[in-house]
Every structure is written in structure tokens, then in C-alpha cells.
Amino acid sequence: MHIRFTKMQGAGNDFVVLDATRQPLTLQREQLQRLGDRRFGVGADQILVVEPSTKPEVDFRYRIYNGATGEEVEHCGNGARCFVRYVREQGLTDKDVIRVETVNRLLELRQAPDGRVTVNMGEPAFAPADLPFDPKALSPRAKHGVDVWSLPLPDGREVEIALVSMGNPHAVMRVDDVLRAPVAEIGPIVESHAQFPRRVNVGFMQVVARDQIALRVYERDAGETLACGTGACAAVVAGIRLGWLDAAVEVQTRGGQLRIEWAGPGQPVMMTGPAQTVYQGEIEL
Ligand SMILES: N[C@H](CCC[C@H](N)C(=O)O)C(=O)O
């Protein structure tokens, strides 16, 4: 199969974007993995497929696959910003506000004149069943009236995590210094911990000020990425709930800066950040 693709990045989280608006595109897992493979294919953290909408009030559908496994996932924040740039640059729409449906969310996206894109990421969810997270023998520790969980590790250590679903699952822990955080060691252990039947994205958050954090994320099925949009949303929401952060926070990631705003329960999380096209290409799959 001959495929035209667009390579994009949002704060260093990179994507292969495919246009399935003109004709249906059904890719096998192995083909998705080939697109994501940094040696034998194009290389990307996730593959984004833009599809026509099936509903009059929605402009597009957007499907997301982790590049390493070809597994479909529920949400991708940096990908949503690249999606907006893509559909406008490809002439698929000239709207300033775009409504797009993912597998389990309806997002509203808007691009500002300076090119930065703001995404209404929907409301966070916190019940263990939303992740899913199976507490088994664990019990939550209430902190600031919010449940945090002490997760036992195989070597006997424990890590304290806050659970947030942005449609996809996030376990967030606070660290003193992200540069020295044990991301490569603890990330994979928590990602595939038995308490997470569908595994989890693992965030390491350093609180710099009440309106500033530094964040690294060991992503489910991707390892550490340079930025994770839903991870930034989950970390800020957890920090606000735990009393560490105000309602608008600048998030410094290894790949760039994101701005996350959340006005509290019942409100959506708003994310603003960069999105760029890197190149276009073709590949035989
Ligand atoms: N690895 C994530 C999907 C991509 C999320 C991330 N790239 C973002 O920007 O939100 C998961 O398995 O839930």
C-alpha cells in the first residue's frame, strides 16, 4: 500500500498524520508499527488518522495509535494541536473553531493568529474505574481531601501517585527535581503495574511555583516522550486538587512549553501549545 503522510510535532512529541477524509484507510497493526518505527519506517510516538465526521455537529473524527505497538488509544493532547494545523494546512477546513470526535471524547480546538493552538481537552475523571485502576489490597490516603495511592514496587519501595483520567489513564507523582527523577527506572514499573489492567502513562512533576511546573512523562506504549499533552493536563489537575498549584500553570517539558488551565470540578481542562509540520513524505507499506 502506497501511503502519503505528514510528519508533525507538538513540543517534541512527534506524529505521523494520515488523511483518511477522502478515502477510508484501514491499516493493520504491523503497518501502524512500521510507520512508528524509527529504524524501519518513518518514526513517531503516535500515528494520527484524520477521518470524516459521522455527525453534523462534529467536523472530523481523529484516531490515535501508539507508534510502538499500533494500539489505539483514547486521547492525545499534543496530537490534537497538530491535528488542527493539519486540517487547516491541507485545506480540509477554514474554520477557526473545530469540533473533533475521538474514540471517547468530543474536543473543541481553536488556532490563534500566532499559530498556537488551544484545545478544550474535556473534563478530568478521578474514580479508579475511570483509569482503570484496580486497588486490590491498596487503600487511598486522603491528602487535602484528595485520594492519593501508595503503590508498592517489586523491590519493596513505595511511590505515592495521584490518578487522573483525561480519557487516557495517568498516574502522577511529585518529585523534587525532574532532571534527577528515576523516569527510566520507575516509569516502566508503574506503566505495567498489576494495579493498572490497561497500563498507564506515568508523570513525574516538579512544582517550581504555584503557576509553574516541570514535567517528564513515561508514556504508555511509548516510553519517555519529550512532551505529553494529556500528561501535562493530568499533572496540573492533580497539583491543583492537592493544593500545590493555581488554576493556570505553565508546564515546562523537555520538548517545549505548554499552558494548562483548569477552573475546577465540572470544568474542562484547556491546553495551549505549539504544533508544527516537519515534512511530508510517501512510504510503501
Ligand atoms: N501514550 C498515550 C497516548 C499519547 C498521549 C500523548 N502523546 C499526549 O500528547 O497526550 C497513551 O497510551 O495513553
- Quick check: bond before 188 cis, omega within 30? no
Interior angle at CA 260, CA 259 and CA 266, nearest 5: 160
In tens digits, what is the pLDDT along the chain, a chain of 285 residues? 999 999 999 999 999 999 999 888 999 999 999 999 999 999 999 999 999 998 999 999 999 999 999 999 999 999 999 999 999 999 999 998 999 999 888 999 998 888 789 999 999 999 999 999 998 888 888 888 888 999 999 999 999 999 999 999 999 999 999 999 999 999 999 999 999 999 999 999 999 999 999 999 999 999 999 999 999 999 999 999 999 999 999 999 999 999 999 999 999 999 999 999 999 999 999
Q: Which residues are catalytic?
A: 76, 228
| Per-residue pLDDT, 113 | 84
The phi, psi pair for 57, rounded to 5°, reads -85, 0
**Mutation probe of ligand 1 site: the residue of 16, 62, 75 with most atoms within 8 A of C-beta:** 75
Asked whether the ipTM of the predicted complex exceeds the cut of 0.85, the reply is yes
| Per-residue pLDDT, 114 | 81
* Ligand 1, atom 13: closest residue by C-alpha: 168
All 3 cell numbers of residue 265?
A: 470540578
- pTM for this structure? 0.96
- Residue reference for cell 508546564: 251
All 3 cell numbers of residue 223?
A: 516510553
Angle between helix 229-241 and 77-89 (nearest 10)? 140
Cβ-count burial 92-101 (b if 16+ within 10 Å, e if not): beeeeebbbb
CB distance 77 to ligand 1 below 6 Å: yes
- Could you give the CA distance from residue 168 to residue 230 in angstroms, rounded to a whole number? 8
User: Hey, what amino acid is at 132?
Assistant: P
Residue 79 marked ligand-binding:
no
| Per-residue pLDDT, 105 | 87
| Per-residue pLDDT, 149 | 94
| DSSP SS3 for 231 | helix
Residue 77 marked ligand-binding:
yes
- Could you give the CA distance from residue 166 to residue 122 in angstroms, rounded to a whole number? 7
| DSSP SS3 for 85 | helix
* Ligand 1, atom 11: closest residue by C-alpha: 220
The rounded Å distance from CA 218 to ligand 1 centre is 10
Residue 201 marked ligand-binding:
yes
Interior angle at CA 168, CA 162 and CA 169, nearest 5: 30
Report how far apart, in Å, the C-alpha atoms of 263 and of each of 161, 241, 247 are. 22, 11, 6
What stretches of the chain adopt beta strand conformation (E)?
2-10, 13-19, 46-52, 60-66, 72-73, 97-101, 106-111, 117-120, 141-143, 146-152, 158-165, 169-174, 201-209, 212-219, 223-225, 248-253, 256-262, 269-273, 276-284
Task: Tell me how crowded residue 108 is: count the other CB atoms within 10 A of its CB.
Answer: 16
Burial of 10 (0-12, 13-18, 19+ CB in 10 A): buried
| Per-residue pLDDT, 178 | 98
